[in-house]
Amino acid sequence: MKKKVYLLLLLFLTAKLSCIVDNNTHWFDQGVNAFNNKDYQHALDLFKKTIHLTPYSINAYFNAGLCCMHLIRWKQAANYFKKAANQNTRHFNAHFYCARSLRNAKKIHEAIEMFTRAIALNPNDIDAQFELGVLYTQQYVYDKALDCYDAVLKIAPQCIDALRNAGHTARYKGDMRRAADYYKRGITLKPNQAHLQYGLGESLLALGDFKNGWDAFEHRWKRMPDKRKFSDKQWDGKTDLCGKKIVVRAEYGQGDSIQFIRYAQLLKKMGAIVIFETQHTLLDLLNTSPYIDKLIMVNENKPLNIEHDYQIPIMSLPHVFNTWSEHDIPNNVPYIWAQPELVDSWKQKIAHDTNFKIGICWQGSPYYEKFKSPLSRKAVPVKLFAELARIDGVSVYSLQKINGLEELKELSNNIVIHSYNDFDYSHGRFMDTAALIKNLDLVITVDTSVAHLAGALGAPTWVLLPYVADWRWMQHRSDCPWYPTMQLFRQIEPDNWQSVMNEIIITLVKEKLSNLKNSSSDSKANSQKLL
């Protein structure tokens, strides 16, 4: 009797299990059909039913993850892929797609760990190696990123994307020679790839190879075409300009315009009528330039609407004027002038101050900071600049405008940095800045338009540079071929501005303040508002 009951129970359980298996297969197959028909939500629901019936179905978890990827539900996708990977630790695709989903869910460190596991399962998968390299680059772990790109290139030496990214990463790391090598390898395979040419140009310019650097730099327009409609009248550097109207067109930022408008002098010597299409912020500053006959404002949404014979982008001028070495740079300063009336006005305004007067600027445009690459991490906390105000016999004046001014409120009351509410407003942008600079003994600034303005005015200028500086400052040097009155102070390690400021203070005391008489210093200290 008992045996008969056991047999009946066994038959029942077998039938029940068979029914579950049949249902599971049914839901799974239906899910696959829905997925193939791109009905991802319905497919996900069916795979969920499969998982409910058989919680250890690796394929159901994996397919559910794929559905979530198509539905842009990255966290859900990562969870499903992770469960599949936990059940089968050798499942490469589960690890790989889990890593991708984690990356898209902004869980970067978890994504890096999962990509690493995937690569351990299949070191020859170039997609995993490449995508891990991208994450390492974004996290500033450049050596590991380059290892990943090199692994890709070992398997696929003609992978343009890997060569381009490796070049960018080496450049961010500050290894310009290695960057140039990657770019050149890519250009050999694809000569007209604009990103490779542009990256090569910046790398070579940083290395001081101006001849090849400017050649490659000319590809920048193919990389990111300007919104403005450029005419076909671009000057080639050879055609006679005597009596001809040439429009010099601004590119990029204000600092670039200030740096390269020096070439207007050469255009004037050729007899050209120079029209400068510039940022509206520079119209007042450049209005009295003897090298510019007319100023017009950049309008990116409209074509050039002025009579002209030729035009040229401003940063193409070094190329057409054969600036093949630093000795070819027209670096006579000043080539920009402050308004004499404003210079006199500021002279009277600070006439009571007999201290050594330093102008400071600690932050550039936050637009560039948002990219967070080493080339844009140029802001310095004002509290480090405040150390200058502690030095006996020194007065500090703010040249900062708009962004960063709020930091002054965070300083101790006994730290005085002179600032002015109407600075560069009533008289126009950069007008007060230029006039005040002409009344200062020294400008100390980060890499921003103020640095270029001070250099163009011929003022003694010290510039704080990040560990990997912009190409124009070149490498491993404290002088600047573009501005003869400028001295460069570089980070010796990334993000360490304190060591830079320490060097500046030591140099300041040694070179600039050592000649101040003790009696004079004492009297000045009494008139200062210092600590």
Phi, psi values for residue 249, rounded to 5°: -110, 125
SS3 75: helix
Mean pLDDT for the stretch of residues 223-249 = 84
Closest CA to 183 of 234, 144, 219: 219
Q: Residue 4: what pLDDT?
A: 43
Closest CA to 236 of 316, 318, 320: 320
Closest CA to 264 of 332, 217, 208: 332
* Whether pLDDT at 152 is above 50: yes
Report residue 79 as tokens.
């969870």
Mean pLDDT for the stretch of residues 142-160 = 98
Residue the block writes with tokens 């590991």: 144
Handedness of CA 14, 16, 19, 24 (dihedral sign): negative
Q: Residue 11: what pLDDT?
A: 32
Q: Residue 526: what pLDDT?
A: 41
Q: Residue 518: what pLDDT?
A: 44
Q: Predicted confidence band at 425 (pLDDT cuts at 50, 70, 90)?
A: confident
**pLDDT, averaged across the chain:** 88
Q: What is the Cα–Cα distance from 58 to 368, expressed in whole angstroms?
A: 46
Mean pLDDT for the stretch of residues 180-207 = 97
SS3 306: coil
Share of the chain above pLDDT 90, in %: 71
Q: Predicted confidence band at 304 (pLDDT cuts at 50, 70, 90)?
A: confident
Least confident of 93-97, 289-293, 446-450, 522-526: 522-526
Most confident of 51-65, 227-241, 383-397, 450-464: 450-464
List, for residues 435-467, the tens digit of each pLDDT value: 999 999 999 999 999 999 999 999 999 999 999
Q: Residue 424: what pLDDT?
A: 82
Q: What type of residue sits at position 14?
A: T
* Whether pLDDT at 376 is above 70: no
* Whether pLDDT at 301 is above 80: no
Burial bucket for residue 68 (CB in 10 Å: 0-12, 13-18, 19+): buried
Q: What is the Cα–Cα distance from 7 to 242, expressed in whole angstroms?
A: 110
Q: What is the Cα–Cα distance from 252 to 220, expressed in whole angstroms?
A: 11
Strand order in the sheet with 273-278: 294-297, 273-278, 245-249, 310-313
Q: Residue 433: what pLDDT?
A: 96
Q: Predicted confidence band at 201 (pLDDT cuts at 50, 70, 90)?
A: very high
Mean pLDDT for the stretch of residues 35-50 = 88
Report residue 169 as tokens.
């990463």
Mean pLDDT for the stretch of residues 312-341 = 97
Mean pLDDT for the stretch of residues 2-17 = 37
* Whether pLDDT at 341 is above 70: yes
Residue pair 450/431 in contact (Cβ under 8 Å)? The answer is no
Where do you find CATH 3.40.50.2000 in the chain? 340-527
Phi, psi values for residue 446, rounded to 5°: -80, 175
More confident site: 31 or 363 = 363
What pTM value is reported for the model? 0.87
* Whether pLDDT at 344 is above 90: yes
CATH number of the domain located at residue range(s) 2-222 in this protein? 1.25.40.10
* Whether pLDDT at 65 is above 70: yes
More confident site: 23 or 459 = 459
Residue pair 97/66 in contact (Cβ under 8 Å)? The answer is yes
Question: Which CATH number among 3.40.50, 1.10.3470, 3.30.310, 3.40.5 corresponds to the domain 245-328?
Answer: 3.40.50
Where do you find CATH 1.25.40.10 in the chain? 2-222
Q: Residue 16: what pLDDT?
A: 40
List, for residues 135-144, the tens digit of each pLDDT value: 999 999 999 9
Strand order in the sheet with 394-398: 394-398, 356-361, 442-446, 461-465, 486-490
Q: Residue 408: what pLDDT?
A: 76
Beta strands, E only, 185-330: 245-249, 273-278, 294-297, 310-313
Can you state the percent helix, strand and coil of the chain, rounding each to 5? Answer: 55, 10, 35
Taking the alpha carbons at both ends of the chain, their separation in whole angstroms is 102
Q: What is the Cα–Cα distance from 171 to 518, expressed in whole angstroms?
A: 48
Report residue 426 as tokens.
């009533």
Residue pair 393/356 in contact (Cβ under 8 Å)? The answer is yes
Q: What is the Cα–Cα distance from 316 to 300, expressed in whole angstroms?
A: 19
Q: Residue 294: what pLDDT?
A: 96
Q: Residue 410: what pLDDT?
A: 77
* Whether pLDDT at 34 is above 90: no
Mean pLDDT for the stretch of residues 503-517 = 83
Q: Which CATH superfamily hosts domain 340-527?
A: Glycogen Phosphorylase B; (3.40.50.2000)
